Amino acid sequence: MLRVLAYTYYGNPWRMESGDNVRIHTILSSLTRTNMIVVFNLSTSTWEYTVGLYDNVVYISLPRKLYNLVSKIIRWGKHYDLNPLMKLTHYIDELLAVARLHRELGKAEVVLVFGSMSLSSFIARLLGVRKPTIVYDPLANYAQTLYLRSRRSLLALLRYGLYLALHKLEVRASNIVVYPSKVDLENAKRMFKPVKAIVVPNPSPICYSNLEEYLELRGHRTDYSRPYFILLAGSRGRTNEETVKITIKVFNRLPPDRFKLLITGPWQDMRKYVENSSIELLGVVPKEKLKELLAISDYGLAPVFSHSAGTFLKTLTYISAGLDIITSTFGVVGVNIPKGINIYLVKNKQELVKVVGEIVYRYDIGKGMNSNRLIALCERTSSRVEDILKLVENPRGG
């Protein structure tokens, strides 16, 4: 059993409230099958060191000391993710945390680092930590998106240049860098030139125990006279809010007997925009209920028209239930689409209106009743982190 430590600045990965948290906690909990995993996570929600055990992963929460102190002095109350004060104090808090963990990091055989803004690998090397193999997971393509923007605009270069320079330091200080897709890996090689990089796909957010479970849940649907659409917008945020509003406006125009639209997430306040009786705002639903909603649906919606870190999570979830998907290019970057899944790419609201209209008015009842789908089974999903497992078991091989 290897001594594996992990570090991230995400406050509560075990809650899996975002796509990045799902990736972090799923990978770490899978590694516990053959390794003891201890995770140090920077947190703004604690003033003391706290310890918790979640799915056999030990999380030790480290207080953001500078952030907490400054926010208390100036009475800062905006404690949402990556607020301006959190960004300004980030690297200093990381320096304090890594300095505190210096001895523990030196004893580890492998250190896993998660987060595109992290500079912990570079700081550790700067402080003389040489022994462990550092595996760095920047979590998808945020840095790559900013890199491309900076190549096209002097203003973007001035805005993101320092961050990108620091990100490259982190990449180069790591022994191995992990990306969720071949596209991300090839882009990163060209942009940041990592010493070594591998692909570990994003884990499926949900899966079915077996085909019988899926068919039983699919059987809860009794109406096949119209297509069922589902939009997963599970967290409050500008991108999800825009997506919900656009989707409601598009479906408001359609005859209610021609479709069913299910929207999950904390969007009950959007009822004021709903003018169609076939649009249902279901609120936040538990995982088992979500599996049923996906099973009875035909099409998954992800009409996101700007970069958002968690967009891929919607697409992965729809794939897990074998749904056809209506999305923008932002929804498919870094995702490997299996054969048998139809992707309808839309660039804007006008194209979304056109695609949805064609589906609604040409719906084939026979297709809706067909339950022969390529769904994600849990036993297959658990094997998606095998590359990480092999890497940890033989960290300097390959």
CATH number at residue 59: 3.40.50.2000
Please state the pTM of the whole predicted model: 0.77
Q: Does residue 116 belong to any structural domain of this protein?
A: yes
Per-residue model confidence (pLDDT) at position 82: 67
Do 231 and 124 fall into the same domain? no
Do 143 and 51 fall into the same domain? yes
CA–CA distance, 163 with 161 (Å, rounded to integer): 5
CA–CA distance, 392 with 295 (Å, rounded to integer): 36
Do 240 and 315 fall into the same domain? yes
Q: Does residue 174 belong to any structural domain of this protein?
A: yes
Per-residue model confidence (pLDDT) at position 296: 95
Do 189 and 242 fall into the same domain? no
Q: Does residue 93 belong to any structural domain of this protein?
A: yes
Do 135 and 281 fall into the same domain? no
Do 264 and 172 fall into the same domain? no
Residue closest to 205 by CA, chosen among 315, 70, 50, 354 = 315
Residue 166: pLDDT band by 50, 70, 90 thresholds? very high
Q: How many structural domains does the chain have? A: 2
Do 122 and 14 fall into the same domain? yes
Whether the per-residue pLDDT at 398 is higher than 50: the answer is no
Tokens of 310: 């968690």
Do 81 and 188 fall into the same domain? yes
Amino acid, single-letter form, for residue 214: Y
Do 151 and 188 fall into the same domain? yes
- Residue 104: C-alpha distances to residues 5, 42, 73, 129, 380 (Å): 8, 16, 32, 10, 34
Do 318 and 345 fall into the same domain? yes
CA terminus-to-terminus distance, the chain = 20
Q: Does residue 398 belong to any structural domain of this protein?
A: no
* Mean pLDDT to the nearest integer, 165-172: 94
**What digits encode the pLDDT tens for the residues 281-323?**
999 888 889 999 999 999 999 998 776 666 778 888 999 999 9
Of 74-88, 171-185, 249-263, the one with minimum mean pLDDT is 74-88
Domain that holds residue 49: 3-203+380-393
**What digits encode the pLDDT tens for the residues 16-39?**
877 788 889 988 888 887 778 899
